Amino acid sequence: MKKIPISCWLTLFVSFTFLFNACSTSTQNSGATSIIQVTATPTLTPLTQTVRPTVLPTLTPTPQQESIRETPQQTSEVNRIISPEAIKDFLVEKVGVTAFGGKVFCAYQVMGIEQESQVIKIYLWAFLQEYLVEQQSLVEGTGTSEPIVIFVKMQNGKYEIFDYKDAGEGYQYLTQNFPPGILPLINLPADEYNQRSASLSNETRNEAETYFGVH
């Protein structure tokens, strides 16, 4: 067996050591590079929040919400069923107030009419005013102006009023006794409301002047 000289062994040892150190350095550098990549702080893009405006739904009124206006046909139909005098007498008795010892006079506007089975409902805006005479002059006492529904049915061969309901207290009570189509006519704009009140007031005053014979 041929012997390898010592110088050759030294050369191989040095070469091996050099290669080992080179690999170790490369591995360390590679690890350092990985650490830098992991620990690097990424650039964050700020989030932008879009605020959308609130869109309310558009409400379309139903036919039941349309206003029912007084027509000559309605008034004529009511007069055919029951006379204006009978309506006024009933309202004066049931609704009128004489706080000053005078006499109550009544005027009304027909807002609508409907029938349920054998009962007829007549929706009115009623104006009742107490009048009395002081020193030969006509003086107003207690008055009321409000929506009223009267109930009519055939009794003893003719139509008679047997009950009524007024506006009551609160919107819920009002909606229980008056259908949606009548409500806009109850809640008129200010100018129309005042015009109606003035017209009905003049009617009661004219009747009172005729009754008492004064102006």
Question: What is the C-alpha to C-alpha distance for residues 166 and 101, in angstroms, rounded to an integer?
Answer: 24
pLDDT at 36: 41
pTM of the model: 0.66
Give the bridge partners for 129, in sequence order: 105, 143
Residue extents of the structural domains in the chain: 67-212
Q: What is the pLDDT of residues 91-132, one digit of tens each?
A: 999 999 999 999 999 999 999 999 989 999 999 999 999 999
Q: Which helix (H) or strand (E) holds 208?
A: helix 190-212
pLDDT digits (tens, 9 = 90+) for 142-187: 999 999 999 999 998 999 999 999 988 777 778 888 999 999 999 9
Between 22 and 138, the more confident residue is: 138
